[in-house]
Amino acid sequence: MAGLNQFTGKLGFILVAAGAAIGLGNIWRFPYLVAEYGGGIFVLIYILFIITFGFAIVAAETAIGRKTGKGSLDAFLSLGSKYPVFAKITGLLTLVISILITSYYTVIAGWIVKYGVSYISGAGELLAADGGAFFTSYIGSGIEPILWTLGIFAVVAVILSFSIQKGLQRVCVILVPALIVCMAVLAVYILTMPGGIDGLLYCFVPDFSKFSVGTVLAALGQTFFTLCIGSGAYITYGIYLSKKQSIEKSVHSIEICDTVVALLAMLLVIPIVFAFSGGSPEILGSGPGLLFEQIPQALATLGGGGTILGAVFFLILFIAALTSLFVLIEVPVAVLISRLHLRRVTAVMIVSTITALLSLVVNFGYSIWKDFTIFGNPILDSLDMLVSNILMPISALFCCILIGWMMDIRVITDEMEENGQKFRWKKFFVIMIKYVAPVCILAIMISSVVDMFI
Ligand code: PHE
């Protein structure tokens, strides 16, 4: 693919891949799901999914990329050549998923820029006004959120049009550790506030009475979203992974970084709800607005320090979102380049234009089309649920069926051992891909549908 080179050094791939995994999924999505779906019980199920089929599918996708050396659509077509229709659907699904995520991810990234700029310009107090009312009025304000979203597209398109590899690696080396340190500082401060510890307990003590099919489906969706499963991201990055490097170890490292950031974000956002609103169920269940409504309140108690921390926090969050956006757009770009032999710039322009138009629809969902809701949810929430809870699981299921049953899975396990070391989790991997993951994904999806109707 024009413009990209192999990752350099052991850490290159891990950091860039962790940069893709770490993003709004960890910091914006995970805390509000933990709050909404019963705290500790959700966290427990989520971690279980991460270490079981989360690991297996990410490793498989990376191996597919490295083995075939092709973008997601062609990679599936070449592996599943005996079942071309099935392979094509699996490949196309990755494109639909990455395009849909981009269309709302950029909208949220736009809100983040607005918050960051407000802190930098000293207007941070405004964001905390009326316990979060600012957020709702801002996202419905029409033109400003749209301009920020389009600005983000412009930045991403320019960066992606050039060779991104080296720059991306450099950004991630600084970003991932900086993000962890900044969040840890904030989390420690918040835990020392009255009520902070109640928030901590809510996050870690599982309350089994809150267990439901909805909790399991939400945890499954979050696992896929945060690990980019089914989006073709790791197939695309796997292409540039050196044969000398262990996929198994890399995936473990990526998962550890990703989970640490998600848990830190949870320890930041949820204790704030307990410190400021006594853990009000209404606020805990407030969904996608949780981060934007709660963080400014805690920061407001810190005076000038809060302004600086707010600026740093939203800046880092923005960079975390950017590193995910790069791969989201790169997935369809890689396919366009290899299929239609387009120039990199042209492919980036086509994908950015399509996704930018879709992002307008998402933005309108809060202003001129705010009466249009799906099951009572705005367009953004509905798209997010469609992608994470339905399309990503289906895409992962198809991927498991394709590599577990339609071809010889040894092609993938051999690829894992290309670096000359034994694949220690081989048996576990095969059982996961062939049996556990497909059966669990199907069972969870079917029971969620049944649950909706009873
Ligand atoms: N994993 C990213 C996050 O948690 C989102 C993402 C999904 C990125 C799919 C790339 C592909 O924010």
Give residue 454 CA to ligand 1 midpoint distance, Å.
Answer: 32
Q: Check pocket membership of 396 for ligand 1, CB cut-off 6 A.
A: no
Contacts of 28 (CB under 8 A, 6+ apart): 108, 265, 288, 291, 317
DSSP lists the bridge partners of residue 206 as 39
275 vs 298: CA distance, rounded Å: 9
pLDDT at residue 49 greater than cutoff 60: yes
Give residue 27 CA to ligand 1 midpoint distance, Å.
Answer: 11
pLDDT at residue 255 greater than cutoff 50: yes
223 vs 236: CA distance, rounded Å: 19
Ligand 1 atom nearest the C-alpha of 321 is 12
Count of C-beta atoms within a 10 Å radius of residue 453: 5
pLDDT at residue 4 greater than cutoff 60: no
Q: How far is CA 271 from CA 192, 203, 219, 323, 411, in A?
A: 10, 9, 20, 28, 47
Pocket test for ligand 1, best of 100, 101, 257, 322 (most atoms within 8 A of CB): 101
Which DSSP symbol is given to 242?
-
pLDDT at residue 166 greater than cutoff 80: no
Question: How far does Cα 388 stand from its chain's mean position?
Answer: 9
Most confident stretch, 99-103, 244-248, 301-305:
99-103
Q: How far is CA 358 from CA 226, 259, 350, 435, in A?
A: 22, 30, 13, 37
Q: Check pocket membership of 108 for ligand 1, CB cut-off 6 A.
A: no
What pLDDT, on a 0 to 100 scale, did the predictor assign at position 3?
45
372 vs 144: CA distance, rounded Å: 21
Q: Which residue has the tokens 């009000």?
A: 280
Give residue 29 CA to ligand 1 midpoint distance, Å.
Answer: 11
Predicted confidence (pLDDT) per residue in 294-323, tens digit: 888 888 887 888 888 888 889 888 988 988
Identify which of 257, 237, 215, 288 has the alpha carbon closest to the alpha carbon of residue 46. 215
What pLDDT, on a 0 to 100 scale, did the predictor assign at position 277?
84
Q: Check pocket membership of 101 for ligand 1, CB cut-off 6 A.
A: yes
Identify which of 394, 408, 406, 410 has the alpha carbon closest to the alpha carbon of residue 448. 394
Structure tokens at 152: 């983000």
Q: Check pocket membership of 324 for ligand 1, CB cut-off 6 A.
A: yes
3-state secondary structure of 70: coil
Predicted confidence (pLDDT) per residue in 384-428, tens digit: 999 999 999 999 999 999 999 999 999 999 999 998 899 999 999
91 vs 78: CA distance, rounded Å: 11
346 vs 180: CA distance, rounded Å: 36
186 vs 131: CA distance, rounded Å: 19
Predicted confidence (pLDDT) per residue in 372-388, tens digit: 888 888 999 999 999 99
